[in-house]
Amino acid sequence: MSVNDGVRLDGARVQNRGRGRGAMIGGGFGLTGIIIALVWYMVTGAPPPAAITQGTSPQGSSVQQSTTSDFADKCRTGADANASTECFMVAVAQSLDAFWEKELPRAARTRYELPGFALFSEGVSTGCGNASSQVGPFYCPADGTVYLDTTFFDELEANFGAENTTLVQAYVVAHEFGHHIQNLTGVFERVNPRDTGPDSSQVRSELQADCYAGLWLHHAASTVDPASGIPILQAPTRDQLASAIDAAAAIGDDHIQESAGMDVNPEKFSHGSSAQRMDALTTGYETGDFNACNTWR
């Protein structure tokens, strides 16, 4: 998925939190590998020690960030976005903002408020507490910010077999922005973080975020950059779409359990099976309809 060269990027849209060092929630996350964090969810039904949970307040020692800046000097054009992962994140955020600023008032009669978007390395301090990179990308409702360590994309490919394409990267970000949409529309109030299983509130929330990601992808090539008047992103190719659907399958709860050498236990599902996640993403993309993403019916 490429960015049109004439697009003007606002690099200040994305924060650069730099490298974070210090204790994590619960005194530190001693397990290695993001797959361990996800397996923890499925074995216990609870967040791992350093994870972020919805609505929690800061706990534990603070994380010392090496820098807090943005990408204003680095990310200015579509060409910059096509040459740099960080600048591509800026372009994706701008596209998501432009889409949801129109779609959310139209479809849900709710004003869109821009979420924060912060890139970090190793660890970060948030309104929900402190987290290590091993928890993966996440949205913190307490400060309305999406947090991402871009090394996650390499982890996704190495540990789950999902190809690291730009469309997969965009899908991951759009999924987290989907959680922000849920926060704005009040859906988060329905989610019980202890509720697991294929029909649980956790799974419904995750599938809706997948569907919202697909919904945005449906409209992405026609979502215009207000500054330049041209579409921000080019239409994805068939192969790129396949990579995003494959990524949705790779991070299905059943596939993660199998990858960890565990028996598949649907009662421990917290994000949805591979089939559920592929279906949710595909539904959003094929219909382009906000109402088709209602997973609570």
For 11-23, how does the pLDDT look when each residue is reduced to its tens digit (9 = 90+)? 999 999 877 654 3
Q: Is the pLDDT of residue 56 over 70?
A: no
Predicted structure pTM score:
0.86
Domain range for 190: 11-293
Q: Is residue 6 part of a domain?
A: no
89 vs 227, more confident: 89
Q: Which residue has the higher pLDDT, 68 or 108?
A: 108
* Residue 62 in domain: yes
Report residue 47's pLDDT band, with 50, 70 and 90 as the boundaries.
very low
Domain membership of residue 4 (yes or no) is no
| Least confident range of 36-50, 82-96, 257-271 | 36-50
Q: How many domains does one find in the chain? A: 1
**In whole angstroms, how large is the CA radius of gyration of the chain?**
18
**Residue 81: predicted pLDDT:** 97
**Inside any domain, residue 114:** yes
- For residue 160, give the nearest of 254, 275, 88 by alpha carbon: 254
Residue 2 lies in a domain: no
